[in-house]
Amino acid sequence: MKKSGAEILMESLKAQGVDTIFGYPGGAALPIYDALYDTDINHYLTRHEQGAAHAADGYARASGKPGVCLATSGPGATNLVTGIANAYMDSIPMVAFTGQVATSLLGKDSFQEADITGITLPVTKHNYMVKDVNDLSKIVKEAFHIATTGRPGPVLVDIPKDVSSTVAAYEDPGPVLLPGYSPAFKPDPKQVSRAARAIVEAERPVIYAGGGVVSSGAHEELKELAETLLMPVATTLMGLGGFPGDHPLSVGMLGMHGSKYANYAISDCDLLVAVGVRFDDRVTGKLESFAPNAQVIHIDIDQAEIGKNVRVDFPVAGDVRLCLREIMKQLEPKVESAWNGTINKWKKEYPLGYVDNGRIKPQQVIQEICTATKGQARIATEVGQHQMWAAQYYTFNRPRSFISSGGLGTMGFGFPAAIGVQVACPEETVFDIAGDGSFQMNIQELATVVNYKLPVKVAILNNGYLGMVRQWQELFYNRRYSYTEMSNPEFSKVAEAYGAVGIKITTPSEVRPAIEHALSVDEPVVMDFITDPEENVLPMVPPGEAINKMLG
């Protein structure tokens, strides 16, 4: 039986197990949306294409399945770019579909034409323009294979309007055959043996765990490794939840806004076991001073990352979960050492904390959310001070519970991402911890949560500034607050105007009751916490400094 290209797309999506799409229609995508009308695929209409991309991203992070977004040509497609770049930087599996002008109009500056494959080339794992409807099912299958295998990432498929309208026979494309693309999974036995020997011989080892632990599902293997060898575990922002935050061996997040004891442990260790990380600048600080006394084991599925930023003594290329399993076969349990005592001493001497001055402290809000949810909520964040406070003061004990923009640092990410998380986890409590600046970047998605009755809870830490930029201006630019002070609406009234619940909180005593009320209603809620305007995120490693040279 023959079908239109758009109908073939629907069949191909269902063959990949897709049941959820986030998108926004337009002229070049009309054949696709017409075919979507007759399917049982759930489509969530966001109020901006960027919101669709971030929602697909959040869905992928929470579920482990690839997120799917759909937009029209031209500005619809270009509005996806930030969300695609965000997924690319954080290695998130996503497939983005865009409508395109008819093939006869390509290259003629046609209405709503944009070279989206050219534009997204640097921020996709791969992309396609479909010029023959007979290739469509094969391309869709390849796109999902590429997005989800090896190091995950976004793939874009651009479909001209005549291709989605043309009729052809739909057949299963058969197995994916991509010459030159063979992502490695199993580690080399010799690499495994060398790494295991280094772990056995180390006296002051530290595990440095990142997002690769979460994406590979290696959290149990990581815990077993740490407990068997009694190794302290420091996590990156992307790695939060990959190791239980309340575990005695956890030293929390490391890097620019990491805990002092995590950064001291990294700086004094003699072996750094880097698992699913990329040694980015916010973690390492001054590169030549990062883990200066340590040999380095780097376990990662992407061989291009190994040795890219730091010298690596023991490379182990492969799927993190399989690598850890193979290494564990060669290890025996260790007993507690003087190193564990030193770590515990630092944890007691340098705890995270803040000064109570009678105003709402953002740290207090995070702690109260953690207590009220018993640490079991899924937490999405925007980007800025509130993001770092969430990382520091919420205890993440399970993978895929912290949903945040790491590599790209995208303001406006958290709220639409929380939509995707809530869709993926309908029975769970989902929070977006936001800043007053970030929240306004995709505030229009309040219409989406109300329309689909998604009970996302938004906690705005409202300090009246672009807080992180203001903090840098205070510390490094002599308090010259150049264009960082914000004039904000009454967020509670804006929420009510959209049909959500709005609450404004101005005193510390109101914080816990507001959170409890938000949790008691099965509706989207926006809580506007008026916080201390000049509170800073501490500790902080100044730019260009070693990570053991911290302010605060």
Known catalytic residues? 49, 111-112, 161, 468
* The pair of three-digit structure tokens given for residue 251, joined into one six-digit string: 């030293």
Rounded Cα gap, residues 360 and 401, in angstroms? 25
Cβ atoms of 501 and 518 closer than 8 Å = yes
Place of tokens 């609450």: 503
Rg (CA), the chain: 24
Place of tokens 């780097």: 298
Cβ atoms of 485 and 342 closer than 8 Å = no
In three-state secondary structure terms, 126 is strand
In three-state secondary structure terms, 120 is helix
For 200-248, the DSSP string reads: HH-SSEEEEE-HHHHHHT-HHHHHHHHHHHT--EEE-TTTTTSS-TTST
Rounded Cα gap, residues 214 and 385, in angstroms? 24
Count of Cβ atoms closer than 10 Å to residue 171 Cβ = 11
Cβ atoms of 320 and 275 closer than 8 Å = yes
Phi-psi domain of 367 (left: phi exceeds 0; alpha: psi -120 through 50; beta: other):
alpha
Rounded Cα gap, residues 94 and 443, in angstroms? 23
For the chain, give percent helix, strand, coil, nearest 5: 40, 20, 40
Return the amino acid letter for 465.
Y
Rounded Cα gap, residues 65 and 28, in angstroms? 27
Rounded Cα gap, residues 189 and 323, in angstroms? 9
Of 402, 415, 427, the closest CA to residue 494 belongs to 415
Q: In this structure, what DSSP letter does residue 489 have?
A: -
Separation in Å, CA 436 to CA 379, 512, 543: 17, 20, 25
Rounded Cα gap, residues 113 and 215, in angstroms? 35
Phi, then psi, of 114 in degrees rounded to 5 = -145, 140
Rounded Cα gap, residues 433 and 478, in angstroms? 29
